[in-house]
Structure 1
Amino acid sequence: MKTSISKAVAPVAFVLALAFTLLLHGAVPFWGTPTLGQAVWTTGFSHSFVNHGLLPYAYDFGAPAPASIAFGLAGAYPAALLIALGMHPADAYAAMVALWLTVAFVSAWWLGIRAGAGSVKSTLAALAWVTMPVIWAHSGYSMLSTGIALLPFYSLAACMLFLDDVQGSRKIGRALLYLSSCLISVFMDGYSFMMFAMGSSIVAAYSFVMNHSTRRRLLTYSLPVHIAGFSLAYVLFALYIGKPSFGAAPLDFFRGWGADVTFFLFPTQGIHWMWDTLGLSVPRSHRELFGDSSVWKTTYLAPLLIAGLLGWLFTFSKSRIASAALIIAVAGLYLSLGPSLKFNSLVPQEIIETGVNMQHMPAELAIAPTGSALLSEHLPGFKNMRASYRWVALAAFGLWFLLLLWLSKAETLGARSAAAILCLAVIGSNLPHPQRYLEIPASNRAQFKAIDTMLVDDMREALQPGEQIAFLPYRNDFLVNYLAPSVPIRTYNIGGDKNLAMARENWPKTMRQFKMNKVDPAFADRLLWLLAQGEADAVVLPYIDMLWAAHAWPGGKIHQKQVQPAIDRLSATGLVDIDTREYYAVVRLNATARVLGQTALQAKLRQTLCLPGFCVRQAASSNAIHSRVGRLSANTLKSDGRRGFLVFGPYEPVESGTYLLVVWGRAPVPAGAWVDIVSSRGSTVHAKFSVPRTASRPDNILLEEKVVFDEAVDDLEVRIFAEEGSRIAITGYELRLARSGPDKD
């Protein structure tokens, strides 16, 4: 009777637990979306894949080169298949997350079945895993959350490879499962890929040391598959993104993003429903802590830590894998601390007042080094785990596995009851506030749909399909990922710091000359030149922030005042039409400019604009003017009587041709001072002139000379050298192209 009741309850409990899992994570298509910003970013890639025959590259943004997605292809591609079947991107993203969460839940449940826990206990353990804050509190980091959730799936593949003694075709099947797991992991998220690599390596090493009878099988079968799986995954990922790895962060970043020991022990206020209700959570803020909020929102472990340690205590003599799980947990905790030990380490007030980057933590502010700096600085893979605290996911998995073993190995009624109660306590401790899964996912989906109706539809009226567009000034433009394939247009812009860095390497010269998030004095001129060269059919000047509007639509028109002077300057040229919309303005060449033709228009602009490539102009007060023996006063750079360079820089590119150099200022006592035009860091001298003695002239011109460049240079430098006792005052200079190509005189 008891067995039949258990058989009836088990499938119902499984379905209800899985349904609650999807609700908790907001992964319910047609009702909610787990997150907004990353969903918009990821499905932009998905939509672009669909637009171009489901090739795994984005051709609509990040132009001119095809853009590979820096992480999360294992999420973006399934979402693309769903979009191709007609699902809205918001629902495709939710369905994709639901798919991988189901794989994670079933894998955690199956680990319990393998351990002998039975279906109901395995369901309880699986629910404890998928409710971990290190999973759901990372939903805003997209595939990081999904990758961490899949640790039981990766572990299941590792257990089958290293612990099971199988023969024949079953060996081939398990090898293929392991290889597939490695590929899914590397294309899901780099952090969980490293956790998988480390955790499975610990299991392999532990099995080799502790079980003599399996060494031959490990050496001839399991380890070769293990090495081949991770090697193949790395090579394919490197080929896909076009580089062996992304650049490593400085050690101070690892330190700032390391977990404080108190984060493990005391929950953060506003995160966990139970602890907030009991009044036992701790307020924490980015105003007093290093890193960002994810460091202290995702790392609370106390109940799981107790349950895991008790699990090991009661099972290490009964399970050959219990101590390996403990080693995995300890390794994860250790690495999550980062290079330095912190215990309630707050940012000193003097650092807060300076406004210094609090994502970086100096070594002297920590209690002591942990020793992991050697790994973070020198070991491949570990060098890219810059958010050190995320290793806590590996610790959480090791502790959870020990709890699972306790559930499965407990023999007495008291032990079984204690394990079950602790598992329920872990689940209760894990849960966020109800609005986190009852209200926010629906709001995310509503905002996602609003982007369609309020922005995409409007852009379809303002822009033509297939046009080459530049969004300026460029930023980390998350929203562009979604807009470009939806309109559809082709744009240089792209969201994601890694993707932006890769795309910028291939941008045309004028596009690269724009400064990220800045409207400088040359912005409007540079924009006009971009259009005149035909490198963009139109330029969009967003009023909204294309990063934060993707996270909370629409987020306010915070950049409208920033771009308005450029709009006024462009309008005054009489060469452009400006279409002012609700959230942006579109700039195009007008009929007058088009009638001139590209060649004549460029010739006209060369006479009036001063842009890198054919003109260098610097005022004495400019940050690009460097000086060793001058002092700036009233926008004039005056020599201080010492011998040395009064002016040097700005190291800008110029085309070949004949140029006119004009220096403004006066030199009542030049005392042998001179001006030269150099490149290649001073090793190539293109021209050199003596500074004439001059009093103040009405036009303030100190020097006016012709300079010829037989070929283009990359780092032009204008230098003014003052001898000892020189009295020179410089207000600025200009080097402008007078005639293209080599001088014919």
Structure 2
Amino acid sequence: MSTLLAPATVMKVFLLLGMHPADAFSSTLALWVCAGYYAAFKLARQLSANANVATLLALLWFSFPIVWNSAQYSHLHFGFCALPVYVYAAQLLADTSTTPKRTAIVSAGVYFTTVVIAVFTDGYSFMMFAVASSILFLGQFVQNHDARTYILKFVSPVHLLAFASAYVLYSSYIGQSEYRPSDLDFFRGWALDLTFPFIPPKGTFWIWDVSGLSAVRNERDYWGDASTWVSTFMLPLILAVIYGSFKGSRGRASLGAFWAISLFGLYMALGPSLKVNSHRPDGAPRGMPASAASFPTGNAILSKHVPGFKNMRASYRWVALTYLGLWLALAYQMTNQQKRAGREDMLVLLAAIALMLPDLGKHIQNKMHQREMFFAIDRDLLKPLASAVTPEEVVLFAPSGNDFLANYLAPALNVRAFNVGGDKNVEAASKSWPPTIVQAATKPIDGMFSKRILNALLSGDVDVVILPKFDMLWGAHYWPIEHSKGKALSSHVEFLKSQPFLAVEEQDHLVIVRLSDQDGIFSDEKVSSMCLPDRCIEEQDFNPGKYPSQVGTIQNGVLYTDERRGYLLFGPYNYIRAGSYCIRIDADLDRAAGAYIDIASDNGATVLAKFPLKVGSDRSSLEKMLLSLDEPAQRLELRIFVESDTKLALRSVQLKPTSSEITCAD
């Protein structure tokens, strides 16, 4: 739900100036931080805080865990750093009721530009911008009778036009109106537990650790991950707001919009179900099923049906709105101009900042280590790859996934990669990939993995396939990293090395595979003898993880019926090119009882052929069946349906090309 296009555009300028990518990223982030700090300061001053208090209030924003702990998610970090900018732009637009018409038009232009920048920075903070600004404008309309005409006739149209335009621009850029939403279990798992804002987790906030007031939390015992409890601790801010409420120097009515922003953020952060010190049972997934929840909050209707809301699956991140609303309320309350009261305010703010900061020594040391890690990646991956690939070649890092590291390596090498990073990007991009790339990139390392790689190369859709021995997501976070895929890849690498028409270079962390530059080293006959994924299906030695089944049991690699009605097997959802094919089944069939095999495509939507299973004189082998495809089949599967009284033991199933269009030829 993000592109990071706006920061990336600035990074591009720094890269053109000769900066290293790590420094270009840091410099761009520094600009966003400076803009956020300036906007927070101006907001505080606009709310009548004096300069010293406003300076600390701006610093307070960046001490919030939701801001500094979001650094592991680049788009989110940029967005949360810029939230004060978004609110300041909204305040400028709303406050121009008392300023000249020319100033109002300038403020509208600033607001429109800010909205567009926000949508091309981060989706979460963009949605929060929409909610916060809408509440602020509504509050202004309700409280300020003199401004109602201005809000209704000028601010509201500008507001709606800005967000509608941003949505259209974003949809046009990504080529679709929205992403496929996640299951509500994810929303529940990554939602706020009501104990998290009040009890800090151990090992994060140094003052609380030293005082012994932090609690042990880990991903084994709690739903979601560590970000849900590290990012949401806000007790010091709550105490500061309580302190401010006792000052009582200004009317309470003006605080209504700020409280509304805070409460709405809290409500959405709770997710679809309420959690109060909720623990995850042993072996349960990180996503929280409805059966494990106490009672619903009612916001599932937004998370399930409303555009924008239904893509904000990490519910706890809504707590940034709670921080924002409380921060605005605190800034509004700290307006006493008496010197003594000003000093008290500053002491309260300094205490709140200190109580929400991590161990700064460790934090800075960790950032320095990450920069060193960046240069280690250059040394260990980028430099060896530069000698193995040629600029402008088309490459594929396989299998694909959240391979963010490829997003750095590919442009640094000046090659064109199919890999696009996050899961939503892969989902969108794969719709335009050639079928051979879809199969090679999106399927796991299984028995057919090396043949899918070979098929992609033979098709000419890719020049080089790179097989990382490590996880491309976590390799971008922690380097060096263990070779978690090395063992699974080893047999496939040996197979690829054995092919005389392939050139395979094995490096310390990667394996580079391309077609050999020797002409005539392979022939159509040799290729056709291989069971390549776009022209052949060959399954045997069944196991539950390799070939799905609705019914039946597996013993010693053989799939047996078990007196249940349903599909004994289905899959593997391959792209198969047009042509004539022979289906061979090796099985023992003692009783057919209405069983049949059919061949379907497009996730079962189109049945291409259907053959009844018959008991023959030789029960150890079933009759061969001919399949003709006039055009390529997408996501083809072989399905064997059995009745409860069918008796069948399946050893293997094959779909292979045949030269005959009349019968299966051996």
TM over 0.5: yes
Whether contact under 8 Å (1:537, 1:588) holds in the other structure is yes
Q: 2:436 aligns with which of 463, 487, 510?
A: 510
Query: CA separation of 1:130/1:376 partners in 2, compared to 1, >3 Å: closer, same or farther?
Result: same
Whether contact under 8 Å (1:658, 1:738) holds in the other structure is yes
The one-letter code matched in structure 2 to 1:431 is: L
Partner residue in 1 for 2:475: 549
Alignment root-mean-square deviation, CA: 2.9
The one-letter code matched in structure 1 to 2:179 is: F
Partner residue in 2 for 1:357: 285
Secondary structure, in 3 states, of the residue corresponding to 1:739?
Answer: coil
Partners in 2 of 1:672 and 1:412 — Cα distance? 91
Question: Alpha-carbon deviations, 1:316-349, whole Å to 9, x = none?
Answer: 734763332122222222222222222211113x
Partners in 2 of 1:146 and 1:723 — Cα distance? 58
Partner residue in 2 for 1:693: 616
Secondary structure, in 3 states, of the residue corresponding to 2:247?
Answer: helix
Secondary structure, in 3 states, of the residue corresponding to 1:427?
Answer: helix
Partners in 2 of 1:730 and 1:207 — Cα distance? 72
Secondary structure, in 3 states, of the residue corresponding to 1:264?
Answer: coil
Partners in 2 of 1:744 and 1:267 — Cα distance? 69
Higher relative contact order (CA 8 A, sep 6+): 1
Alignment of 1:597-636 (within 5 A): 601-607=523-529, 609-619=530-540, 621-623=542-544, 630-636=552-558
Query: CA separation of 1:311/1:616 partners in 2, compared to 1, >3 Å: closer, same or farther?
Result: same
Query: CA separation of 1:564/1:650 partners in 2, compared to 1, >3 Å: closer, same or farther?
Result: closer
Is 1:713 the counterpart of 2:638? The answer is no
Secondary structure, in 3 states, of the residue corresponding to 2:387?
Answer: helix
Whether contact under 8 Å (2:130, 2:163) holds in the other structure is yes
Whether contact under 8 Å (2:2, 2:121) holds in the other structure is no
Partner residue in 1 for 2:212: 279
Partner residue in 1 for 2:488: 562
Query: CA separation of 1:316/1:199 partners in 2, compared to 1, >3 Å: closer, same or farther?
Result: farther
Partners in 1 of 2:450 and 2:659 — Cα distance? 24
How far does residue 678 in structure 1 lie from its aligned partner after superposition? 6.0
Q: 1:104 aligns with which of 36, 55, 68?
A: 36
Is 1:660 the counterpart of 2:582? The answer is yes
Is 1:488 the counterpart of 2:409? The answer is no
Alignment of 1:83-102 (within 5 A): 83-102=15-34
Partner residue in 2 for 1:65: none
Partner residue in 1 for 2:301: 374
Partners in 1 of 2:664 and 2:646 — Cα distance? 37
Greater alpha carbon shift after TM alignment, 577-586 vs 327-336: 327-336
How far does residue 253 in structure 1 lie from its aligned partner after superposition? 1.6
Alignment of 1:364-443 (within 5 A): 364-407=291-334, 409-413=335-339, 415-443=341-369
Identity fraction in percent: 36
Whether contact under 8 Å (1:657, 1:742) holds in the other structure is no
The one-letter code matched in structure 2 to 1:324 is: A
Partners in 2 of 1:478 and 1:219 — Cα distance? 45
Whether contact under 8 Å (2:250, 2:333) holds in the other structure is no
Partners in 1 of 2:598 and 2:50 — Cα distance? 84
Greater alpha carbon shift after TM alignment, 616-625 vs 567-576: 616-625
Secondary structure, in 3 states, of the residue corresponding to 2:447?
Answer: coil
How far does residue 487 in structure 1 lie from its aligned partner after superposition? 1.3
Q: 1:730 aligns with which of 645, 650, 658?
A: 650
How far does residue 507 in structure 1 lie from its aligned partner after superposition? 1.5
TM-score calculated relative to the size of structure 2: 0.92
Query: CA separation of 1:676/1:419 partners in 2, compared to 1, >3 Å: closer, same or farther?
Result: closer
Query: CA separation of 1:647/1:481 partners in 2, compared to 1, >3 Å: closer, same or farther?
Result: closer
Greater alpha carbon shift after TM alignment, 338-347 vs 619-628: 619-628
Partners in 2 of 1:271 and 1:590 — Cα distance? 53
Partner residue in 2 for 1:224: 157
How far does residue 535 in structure 1 lie from its aligned partner after superposition? 1.6
Whether contact under 8 Å (1:664, 1:731) holds in the other structure is yes
Matched residues, number: 662
How far does residue 418 in structure 1 lie from its aligned partner after superposition? 3.2
Partner residue in 2 for 1:20: none
Partners in 1 of 2:641 and 2:104 — Cα distance? 76
Is 1:528 the counterpart of 2:454? The answer is yes
The runs of 5 or more residues in structure 2 that have no matched partner are: none
How far does residue 174 in structure 1 lie from its aligned partner after superposition? 0.8
Partner residue in 1 for 2:516: 590
Query: CA separation of 1:742/1:436 partners in 2, compared to 1, >3 Å: closer, same or farther?
Result: farther
TM-score calculated relative to the size of structure 1: 0.83
Secondary structure, in 3 states, of the residue corresponding to 1:613?
Answer: coil
Question: Alpha-carbon deviations, 1:234-282, whole Å to 9, x = none?
Answer: 1111111111122222222211111111111111111112212222111
Secondary structure, in 3 states, of the residue corresponding to 1:536?
Answer: coil
The one-letter code matched in structure 1 to 2:76 is: L
Whether contact under 8 Å (1:710, 1:742) holds in the other structure is no
Secondary structure, in 3 states, of the residue corresponding to 1:314?
Answer: coil
How far does residue 105 in structure 1 lie from its aligned partner after superposition? 0.9
Whether contact under 8 Å (2:392, 2:416) holds in the other structure is yes
Whether contact under 8 Å (1:545, 1:557) holds in the other structure is yes
Partners in 2 of 1:390 and 1:723 — Cα distance? 50
Greater alpha carbon shift after TM alignment, 558-567 vs 304-313: 304-313
Alignment of 1:328-343 (within 5 A): 328-343=261-276
Partner residue in 2 for 1:190: 123
Secondary structure, in 3 states, of the residue corresponding to 1:564?
Answer: helix
The one-letter code matched in structure 1 to 2:20 is: H
Question: Alpha-carbon deviations, 1:581-624, whole Å to 9, x = none?
Answer: 111121222255x325xxx73442122x2233322223262557
How far does residue 103 in structure 1 lie from its aligned partner after superposition? 0.7
Question: Alpha-carbon deviations, 1:151-207, whole Å to 9, x = none?
Answer: 221121111211342122111111111111211211111111111111111111111
The one-letter code matched in structure 1 to 2:72 is: G
Partners in 2 of 1:190 and 1:111 — Cα distance? 23
Whether contact under 8 Å (1:708, 1:742) holds in the other structure is no
Partner residue in 2 for 1:137: 69
How far does residue 364 in structure 1 lie from its aligned partner after superposition? 3.5
Whether contact under 8 Å (1:668, 1:694) holds in the other structure is no
Whether contact under 8 Å (1:308, 1:401) holds in the other structure is no
Partners in 2 of 1:258 and 1:480 — Cα distance? 30
The runs of 5 or more residues in structure 1 that have no matched partner are: 1-68
The one-letter code matched in structure 1 to 2:402 is: N
Question: Alpha-carbon deviations, 1:483-503, whole Å to 9, x = none?
Answer: 111112112122112112222
How far does residue 399 in structure 1 lie from its aligned partner after superposition? 1.4
Whether contact under 8 Å (2:435, 2:575) holds in the other structure is no
Partner residue in 2 for 1:175: 108
Partners in 2 of 1:316 and 1:374 — Cα distance? 40
Question: Alpha-carbon deviations, 1:343-368, whole Å to 9, x = none?
Answer: 211113xxx2x3x321x112343333
The one-letter code matched in structure 1 to 2:364 is: L
How far does residue 146 in structure 1 lie from its aligned partner after superposition? 2.3
Whether contact under 8 Å (2:262, 2:326) holds in the other structure is yes
The one-letter code matched in structure 2 to 1:244 is: S
Is 1:148 the counterpart of 2:68? The answer is no
Q: 2:497 aligns with which of 542, 556, 571?
A: 571
Whether contact under 8 Å (2:53, 2:342) holds in the other structure is no
Query: CA separation of 1:708/1:383 partners in 2, compared to 1, >3 Å: closer, same or farther?
Result: closer
Partner residue in 2 for 1:79: 11
Secondary structure, in 3 states, of the residue corresponding to 2:503?
Answer: strand
Partner residue in 2 for 1:448: 374
Whether contact under 8 Å (1:657, 1:743) holds in the other structure is no
Secondary structure, in 3 states, of the residue corresponding to 2:149?
Answer: helix
Greater alpha carbon shift after TM alignment, 153-162 vs 89-98: 153-162
How far does residue 91 in structure 1 lie from its aligned partner after superposition? 0.6
